[in-house]
Amino acid sequence: MYIFLILLAGFSGIGGACFELHKAKVSRQVIGFSVMLNLSMGIYFAVMCGYLSSGFRAIKCDSTGGALGMILACFVMGRIVPLAKKAIYRSYFLLMPLVYGIGKLACAYKGCCGGSIIHGKRVPVQVIEAISFIILFLISFYLVKKDTFKPVVLVMVCTVLKFLLDFLRDTHVEQIISFNQGACLVTFAILLCIFAIDRKALF
């Protein structure tokens, strides 16, 4: 089930983004290149952030790093294909909370992320995150239908939500700010820089 959910998250994200790009009449070549760039940068940053968070002791994936890689991939694609910039941001940013939400369902099944203990009971942080981000995706999808969707607002909300929900993890037993929250702050700062450059495409 864990592998199935991880694959479902990946295929739903990439497949959904490709579908949205196709609707926006982006060429197949650009779609294919954007998929390769998002996958390669997403995986690279996920692994590197995971390696960094482990204190350079273990190879693992970090979801915040993966999201940062995809954000940067969209920015790079915007430099390569300026005419498709807005469609690329909209398509990939829209699917990010869905990918994360399904991924957290996989974590909940495997039990790989521990929640903090309150009144003797462990908080089901993975389930809370999964529900929160899937709801956020559904709201965003509704806004797309109403033509009021703002890609940068969605990803900033995702970053803030991830930062706040991380307080429910057991990583805060001995520290105030976790590595994940530090990564969220870095991601938010990078988003502000990208927004300053690509304001029209993101808002």
Cβ-proximal residues to 71 (8 Å cutoff; 6+ apart), any chain? 93, 155, 187, 190, 191, 194
Q: If the chain, 203 residues long, is cut into consecutive pieces of 10 residues, what is the mean pLDDT of each piece?
A: 85 95 96 97 93 86 91 96 96 96 84 63 84 97 94 96 90 80 96 94 83
Q: What does pTM read for this prediction?
A: 0.92
Cβ-proximal residues to 49 (8 Å cutoff; 6+ apart), any chain? 62, 64, 65, 66, 68, 183
pLDDT for the residue 114: 64
φ, ψ of residue 169 to 5 degrees: the values are -85, 160
In angstroms, the CA 171 to CA 201 distance is 37
- Per-residue model confidence as pLDDT tens digits over 158-188: 999 999 999 888 776 677 888 999 999 999 9
The domain segmentation of the chain, as residue ranges, is 2-202
pLDDT for the residue 194: 96
